[in-house]
A and B are shown apart, each in its own frame.
Chain A
């Protein structure tokens, strides 16, 4: 079993839909959580960064962490075709550790 699991998709939604992307993990010591967006044939770029549990909002994006369920989510409101990309979650036990990445979920937003 992988330490961090993501549904690979592809997830196809119409423009304007609310998108929910999720990761589950097995290591209860993880407390730093990130979401990266990767466009095709490009390097990933950091979208959201949360520490421990709770929610964080940035524009159309909301990141949620539920440590009791070992589950994190990224919500995208009013999705746009430009949001079409692969979304990778990443996490770490503490600030000095390296990141453990999920396999990524491919999202397609259709006009």
Chain B
């Protein structure tokens, strides 16, 4: 059963802590993405990766970091430098990067900073 999995579904963090959100895909896609969704804001791109061991900043990368050591995995770390981290985080993948390639989304992780 192919798809994208994200874990955990809900995550609570104290201020000042770093947390890592997991994203795994078994679609054999080269490109992976992280988005942040806030009410009324739509999806904003945090980071994307077109190939293993390479990634690029999106529109709102400050306070976040990523790694792409394996094709299947693209974890996102929300650092304490992110001023307002409470949001819904979505991971996506596509066969290749770019608008021409359909992006498949995971179920999301809701992060709440206490």
A residues engaging B (CB < 8 A)?
Answer: 4, 6, 8, 32, 34, 41-46, 49, 88, 90-92, 94-99, 101-104
Contact = CB atoms under 8 A, between A and B. Distances in A.
B10 to A, nearest CB: 10
Interface string B39-83: 011111100100000000010000000000000000000000000
Report, as a range, how many residues of chain B touch the other chain: 20 to 34
B77 to A, nearest CB: 20
Contacts of A8: 40
B58 to A, nearest CB: 7
Nearest to B106: A43
A103 B40 CA distance: 5
B85 interface: no
Nearest to A104: B42
B111 interface: no
25 contacts: A8-B40, A34-B99, A41-B108, A43-B4, A43-B90, A43-B105, A43-B107, A45-B104, A45-B105, A49-B102, A88-B43, A91-B99, A92-B98, A92-B99, A94-B99, A95-B99, A95-B100, A96-B97, A96-B98, A98-B97, A99-B43, A101-B43, A101-B44, A103-B41, A103-B42
A97 B42 contact: no
Contacts of B106: 43
B101 to A, nearest CB: 8
A101 B92 contact: no
A17 B75 CA distance: 42
B92 A97 contact: no
Contacts of A91: 99
A96 B96 CA distance: 9
Contacts of B112: none
B103 interface: yes
A101 B42 contact: yes
B98 A95 contact: yes
A90 B103 CA distance: 11
Contact of B99 (A32, A41, A103): A32
